[in-house]
């Protein structure tokens, strides 16, 4: 079995190699166990992705230095299968499942912890030559045009499209940071019963820190609203700037529509799921007549739930 990966194995024998079929990444992923009971994650992508994956691995190396629990980088290179990345495996429970089995105060506490972790990632200094240009607005406009031209549109999307068109200039005004790129409970692991570890950095990038939070609307609130509130509160240490809500609403409006177009590559079930999320988003933002979602309220999540 190991001879398939002889050009990757450099230290000790692998005794277990299991393919992982979970997730939307184009990477081929394997769970590995070694003779000394080390648990590893092997990610393989096409050789034409070498430069992109090299930058991703370099970012992961940076993230690994900022004192967070995460899938640690071990090795990177090329092999007969393409480009490979070897990381440590994080053992624990998928946070999206774990949140369903704890009370609201614990959900909120874990959310605050997640926000503090995200803040640490965003605090890493970016070299000047890695700061992106001013083409983010153009990229967003191109994506929304692809949604408008698609054959799957949500009813009554005019309000959201108008909101995006009138407010798109607000994005990318905050200083860029290193982004995780897909930060939500599905990419977090509960370890040791009360700590969170981060996995899946394959969408990492450099960009607007506020952009990271639209995933709460798409994937977070359906798991735990207290967690989502906690993530925002923890990230800002309870001092949320008003421009955060203004900018986040633009990202949410854009993502709720474009995700429908994105889902078309994955079949009807994914399209239907994104349409439902988009409809919920319209309700939460009252057709984008407000800049703060209705689910963010301190009514039930006050100082009692703050981390010590």
Check residue 3 and give its pLDDT: 61
2-88 and 93-302 agree in CATH topology: no
Check residue 301 and give its pLDDT: 60
Coil, helix or strand at residue 134: coil
Check residue 4 and give its pLDDT: 66
Q: What topology does CATH give the domain 93-302?
A: Aminoglycoside 3'-phosphotransferase; Chain: A, domain 2 (3.90.1200)
The pLDDT tens digits of the residues spanning 143-156 come to 999 999 998 998 88
Domain positions in the chain are: 2-88, 93-302
Judged against a pLDDT cut of 70, whether residue 54 lies above it is answered with yes
Judged against a pLDDT cut of 60, whether residue 300 lies above it is answered with no
Question: How confident is the model over 96-119, as a mean pLDDT?
Answer: 96
Judged against a pLDDT cut of 90, whether residue 237 lies above it is answered with yes
For residue 304, what is the DSSP state? G
Q: CA dist 42 to 9, 61, 93, 108, Å?
A: 11, 16, 19, 33
Give the whole-number percent of the chain exceeding pLDDT 90: 79
Burial of 268 from C-beta contacts in 10 A (0-12 / 13-18 / 19+):
exposed
Beta bridge partners of 207: 177
Question: How confident is the model over 33-50, as a mean pLDDT?
Answer: 95
Check residue 303 and give its pLDDT: 45
Q: What rounded mean pLDDT belongs to the chain?
A: 91
Structure tokens of 219? Answer: 């994937």
Question: How confident is the model over 41-70, as a mean pLDDT?
Answer: 95
Check residue 81 and give its pLDDT: 87
d(CA 305, CA 308): 9
Name the superfamily (CATH) of residues 2-88. Answer: Phosphorylase Kinase; domain 1 (3.30.200.20)
Give the whole-number percent of the chain exceeding pLDDT 70: 94
Check residue 306 and give its pLDDT: 44
């Amino acid at each position: 079995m190991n001879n398939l990966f002889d050009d990757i194995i450099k230290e000790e024998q692998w005794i277990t190699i299991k393919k992982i079929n979970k997730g939307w990444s184009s990477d081929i992923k394997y769970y590995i166990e070694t003779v000394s009971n080390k648990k590893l994650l092997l990610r393989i992508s096409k050789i034409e992705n070498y430069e992109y994956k090299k930058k991703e691995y370099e970012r992961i190396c940076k993230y690994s230095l900022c004192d967070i629990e995460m899938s640690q980088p071990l090795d990177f290179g090329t092999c007969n299968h393409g480009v490979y990345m070897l990381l440590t495996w994080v053992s624990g429970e998928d946070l999206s499942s774990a949140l369903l089995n704890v009370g609201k105060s614990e959900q909120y506490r874990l959310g605050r912890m997640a926000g503090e972790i995200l803040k640490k990632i965003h605090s890493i200094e970016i070299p000047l030559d890695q700061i992106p240009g001013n083409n983010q607005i153009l990229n967003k406009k191109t994506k929304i045009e692809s949604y408008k031209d698609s054959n799957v549109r949500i009813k009554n999307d005019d309000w959201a499209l108008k909101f995006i068109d009138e407010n798109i200039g607000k994005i990318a005004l905050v200083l860029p940071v290193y982004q995780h790129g897909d930060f939500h409970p599905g990419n977090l692991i509960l370890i040791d019963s009360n700590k969170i570890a981060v996995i899946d950095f394959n969408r990492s990038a450099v960009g607007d820190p506020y952009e990271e939070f639209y995933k709460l609307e798409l994937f977070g609130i359906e798991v735990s609203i207290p967690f989502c509130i906690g993530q925002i509160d923890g990230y800002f240490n309870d001092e949320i700037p008003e421009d955060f809500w203004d900018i986040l609403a633009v990202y949410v409006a854009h993502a709720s529509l474009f995700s429908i177009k994105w889902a078309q590559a994955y079949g009807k079930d994914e399209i239907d799921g994104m349409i439902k999320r988009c409809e919920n988003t319209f309700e939460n933002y009252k057709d984008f007549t407000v800049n703060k979602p209705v689910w963010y309220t301190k009514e039930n999540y006050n100082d009692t739930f703050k981390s010590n």
